[in-house]
Amino acid sequence: MIKKEYKQINETLYTETLPNGLTVYLLPKKDYHKTYGLFSTNYGSIDNEFVPLGETDFIHVPDGIAHFLEHKLFEKEDGDVFGKFGKQGASANAFTSFTKTSYLFSSTSQVFENLETLLDFVQEPYFTKESVDKEKGIIGQEIQMYQDDANWRLFIGLLENMYPKFPLSIDIVGTVESISKITAEDLYTCYRTFYHPSNMNLFVVGNLVPEEMMNFIRENQEKKEFAPIVPIKRRFSKQKSTDIIKERTINMSVTRPKFILGIKGIDELPKIGRELATYEMSITLFLQLLLGSTSKNYLKLYDAGLIDDTFYAEGFSLEREFHFAEISGDSDEPKKVIQKLEEILLNFESSEELTEGALDKLKKRTIGKYFQSLNSLEFIANQFSQNLYEDVTLFDVIEIVESLTMENILENAHHFIQKNAFSHFYIYPNEK
């Protein structure tokens, strides 16, 4: 077990990779009553083309299957796992993103029982034709709910523009048509390939004794048999900047027009974990400096009546296979807002917002928010697995932020801000 101390934040992280390939992270927090366990696999909605475990040829599975699989793992032959967690005084949840699927429990008692339940239910799949067919109706209703959500449609519309030939453009939950094709065998194929311990990590945070907790996890995993560790082969269509759709519009039942501006990352990213985390933080701070709520650009747009408090300009996503920024809001003049935003972004080099003084203030504010967030075990549990870059973790954020210079930010912004990488999507009210 490797012990790493983060003295700036007074945290100690314990890490071990088990013989079956599972990487375990333990974060003891002695002054807390609640414990969180998060079990994650490096598998999400974009992973729809791959070589199944034990085979040699690529297959394509129905869209939405990663999310469907997440739902079905909670259902077992003897009942629903949520009920078992409830009897043990725990709450449970799960979520699927474009690149990951995570299962979570939180409890103030019976921690070992709940951790065992988490590990066992995720590692013991049970799918039948009857249960799969039943789930299709439930997820179909969820799909309709997302279709009626204007903000979600705005976001997905932008992804469809930026990634028209890449699975990121497909809703995480899939479509009614795509999930209708899912079979129990499909679920087992995806499960065997992506839920191998070597493609997963377990993070536990709370009032725990590291050695005792790690021994418990080791014993649980030693009782189970897994296939030999083999690299997972995934396949994605090649992306070109010329594929980007510049602009689209739809009508929905909204009271005011909505806009979203996307910037697709089209340059290759750094390969090393720390450089990747530095790049992500550079672009995040760059967007805040240029268009954040304390910037002069924001105030000018606000005073002109072009934006309101729905304006959001801090959305930057960086995950395996893709990275992009999104800037969105409501406006009576959405196209005028987009025009102004593009002018600001494309002329960032001459902006009076990008100064060392402004950066120092933002870095202090960012670190302050970070320290505040670390008081929440829920935040730590949910963010830890989402912010893993090789050996760089959530707890390296302060060091990375402190080391950033304006030179770093400008250099990375030059790579990211490219005119041919811009795209817009609008939602207008239905015509009366």
Residue 251 has pLDDT above 90, yes or no: yes
Beta-carbon count within 10 A of 302 CB: 14
Helix (H), strand (E) at residue 41:
strand 35-41
CA angle, 45 as apex, 40 and 48 as ends, to 5°? 115
- What pLDDT does residue 385 have? 83
Could you say which of 194, 222, 250 is where a domain stops?
A: 222
Q: How far is CA 312 from CA 153, 263, 288, 328, 368, in A?
A: 16, 14, 10, 5, 20
Looking at the structure, tell me whether residues 34 and 132 fall in a common domain: yes
pLDDT value at position 282?
A: 95
The DSSP letter of residue 257 is -
Check pLDDT > 90 for residue 268: no
Reply yes or no on whether the pLDDT at 252 is more than 90.
Answer: yes
In this predicted structure, what is the pLDDT of residue 432?
60
pLDDT at 112: 97
Whether 249 and 218 share a structural domain: no
Q: Which residues contact 184 (CB under 8 A, 6 or more apart)?
A: 127, 128, 129, 131, 132
Examine the domain organization and report whether 324 and 195 are in the same domain. no
CB atoms within 10 A of CB 296: 12
Q: Which of 52-56, 152-156, 272-276, 297-301 has the lowest mean pLDDT?
A: 272-276
Single-letter amino acid code for the residue at 261 = L
Please indicate, yes or no, whether residues 30 and 103 belong to a single structural domain of this protein.
yes
**178: containing domain:** 2-222
Residue 188 lies in a domain: yes
Cβ-proximal residues to 125 (8 Å cutoff; 6+ apart), any chain: 72, 73, 187, 188, 191, 195
- For 69, residues 6+ apart whose C-beta sits below 8 A from its C-beta are 101, 187, 190, 191
Residue with tokens 């490219």: 418
Task: Please tell me whether residues 166 and 283 are part of one structural domain.
Answer: no
Look at residue 190 in the predicted model and tell me its pLDDT: 97
Express each pLDDT in 126-152 by its tens digit: 999 998 998 888 898 888 888 889 999
Active centre residues (catalytic): 70
* Domain shared by 299 and 186, yes or no: no
**Are 34 and 158 found together in one domain?**
yes
Query: What are the tens digits of pLDDT across the range 183-239?
Result: 999 999 999 999 999 999 999 999 999 999 999 999 999 999 999 999 999 999 888
Q: Count up the domains in the chain and report the number.
A: 2
Assess whether 139 and 253 both reside in one domain. Answer: no
What would the pLDDT profile of 373-411 be if each residue is shown by its tens digit? Answer: 988 898 998 888 877 777 888 999 899 999 999 999 999
Structure token digits, residue 55? 């085979």
Average pLDDT of the segment spanning 94-119: 95
CATH label of the domain that carries residue 376: 3.30.830.10
426 CB neighbour count, 10 Å cutoff = 19
Cβ(344)–Cβ(307) below 8 Å: no
**Domain presence at residue 232:** no
